[in-house]
Structure 1
């Protein structure tokens, strides 16, 4: 098949904490944590009661990687690989959760698409539709966007008796954040969202279209001559891919072609098809297995061994009933 698609508490984050957490992730995940995640931890440790209440109002809470700031040596429960801590069913291997964002399974992750360093922040609703959003560059930028969306919503409900108090707390939270980052962005509420969140993303020629919406960092040819990231008709592309996955013979042929290309030295098709199958697995063991096979072969060909290992351990643990797998603190 071939087709083209156009268009309050104790402050954390001391140098010792930073070194221990960074070393844990280099050792167990094979990833280099960015400075931005340590700035996020500094921000969390600086908050007073009002700011923390504002975070609760927003239903925002640290998670995943941030749990290791409590104890960098916390092990996973017996029989579970620590690399699946905070890892949701559809999370691509490149995604490393650091924050929950409220309803419908919204969560945020550091995005490691070169297999070593963090390019920015990704987020999506695990329990709802839509793809992976990669607009935010840092954790604090992601929180700032949530603050301003909430401020905009308060503008729409001025008669609610809780609005003045919530607005006061939200303002304190914004002040704490902008003291560290995005302080040059003077817009608030709707004006902020319009300026920074609602713009159409440019076509990214370093990445190739994927079903999850995040794009894949890879060069080389793909069987469908996929356009660059942000350059596809998303509805048309998704319809085609889901139809392909429902056609057993066509899917088998596509997988064979991806294997052939990867063995010949071009892992692009294995990476993008593997990412698509991972995103669209839907509990299907066959899709899960094919996704893992293709992703592991592509990542190893691209010298992204950390991502290959994450793909393998995620496959073993995708049926876990919850994403928190660390032992409780104090054990």
Structure 2
């Protein structure tokens, strides 16, 4: 079930602060996470859209998903035997990733990013069915939607057709942009390719607070790495990936790496367990050995780092990684 704007409109009218409180309570109870103000702005924005705005979102091929289903009804429960924390969770999603938007080709989806296990630090996205890593350049859900809109606008600029449908789509997207920039990103006057070059495809700066991981998102940690990994965005991604996949294919080398991560964690530094766990999670590709090692290392690291919500999510995901569908909520309450 995906939330559409009409549902948000009714909740805004009848639920008000009480509705928001129920959503916040649900996520704190089940995920151990504090939702950011930006996701409530996103929900309110969806609820404010008229039919033209809704059609514009359809033009972008995106729709609310994952956690947004609980914004429509915080009391929904998962199907029997399934942990609610895997709702909207794709096979490669790190525990820090909480899906709120789906759309586009090759399984593109966006999620809130909680790398300290409590507070949201921004938005992440990646193509679940394609190559490439996780992009963490967007700060808020609406900023992510703006980036998608401007990519589509760029494509319309390249469209050689001059027919009524192209004109109508451009008109709808312009109105959607006006509505969005009245809430966020209004300080960015660029559109289309100029916007993408300025904010969407610019090289991300090195982040000294995070350490390189195979998934491209980096991990929040301050300890040491067995590989002396550079800071996030500071590695040669191709060389790093080549090395890590070769290591994972070597049973002896992998065993030694896991033992080193365990040893360091037992000695009080869970950083290597976190890094190697994230890498194995991303590169599991259905391999039960990699899946099990990833789960062990991640749960151990998150607990040592006092990130219990992420530890519980990692464990829940491990139990349910073979689910054929990511939607696990019942559409009505029992």
TM-score, normalised via structure 1 length: 0.96
- Equivalent positions of 1:212-251 (< 5 A) are 212-251=215-254
Residue 81 of structure 2 is matched in structure 1 by: 79
**Distance (Å, rounded) in 1 between the aligned partners of 2:110 and 2:332:** 23
Instruction: Tell me the residue number matched to 1:131.
Output: 133
Query: Secondary structure of 1:45's match?
Result: helix
* Secondary structure in structure 1 of the residue aligned to 2:326: coil
8 Å CA contact 2:213, 2:278 repeated in 1: yes
Structural mapping, 1:33-182, within 5 Å: 33-161=35-163, 162-182=165-185
4+ long deviations beyond 4 Å = none
Q: Supply the distance in 2 between the matched residues of 1:148 and 1:206 (Cα, whole angstroms).
A: 30
Gaps of 5+ in 2: none
Residues in 2 aligned to 1:98 and 1:222: alpha-carbon distance in whole angstroms: 32
Q: Distance in 2 between matches of 1:38 and 1:194?
A: 28
Normalised TM-score (structure 2): 0.96
Contact 2:77 2:333 in 1 (8 A): no
Q: Is residue 283 from structure 1 mapped to residue 280 from structure 2 by the alignment? A: no
2:19 is the alignment partner of 1:17: yes
- In the TM superposition, what is the alpha-carbon distance from 1:101 to its structure 2 partner? 2.3
Partner deviation per Cα, 1:221-275 (whole Å, 9 max, x = no partner) = 1110000000000000000000000000000000000000000000010000000
Q: What is the number of equivalent residue pairs in this alignment?
A: 324
- How far apart are the structure 1 equivalents of 2:63 and 2:303? 34
The alpha-carbon deviation at position 50 of structure 1 amounts to 0.8
Q: What secondary structure, in the 3-state scheme, does the structure 1 residue paired with 2:6 have?
A: coil
| Equivalent-residue separation in structure 2 for 1:143 and 1:101 (angstroms) | 11
The answer on 1:26 being equivalent to 2:23 is no
CA RMSD of aligned residues (A): 0.9
Q: CA deviation at 1:330?
A: 5.4
Matched, 1:304 2:307: yes
For structure 1, list consecutive stretches of 5 or more residues without a partner in the other structure: 1-7
Counterparts of 2:42 and 2:19, CA distance in 1: 13
Offset of residue 217 of structure 1: 0.2
SS in 1 for 2:99: strand
Distance across 2 between alignment mates of 1:299 and 1:108 = 23
Q: What's the CA shift for 1:120?
A: 0.2
Contact 2:75 2:333 in 1 (8 A): no
Which residue of 2 is the match for residue 328 of structure 1? 331
Quote the offset at 1:329 in angstroms. Answer: 2.7
Sort the Cα spacing of 1:160 and 1:280 in 2 relative to 1 into closer, same or farther, 3 A.
Answer: farther
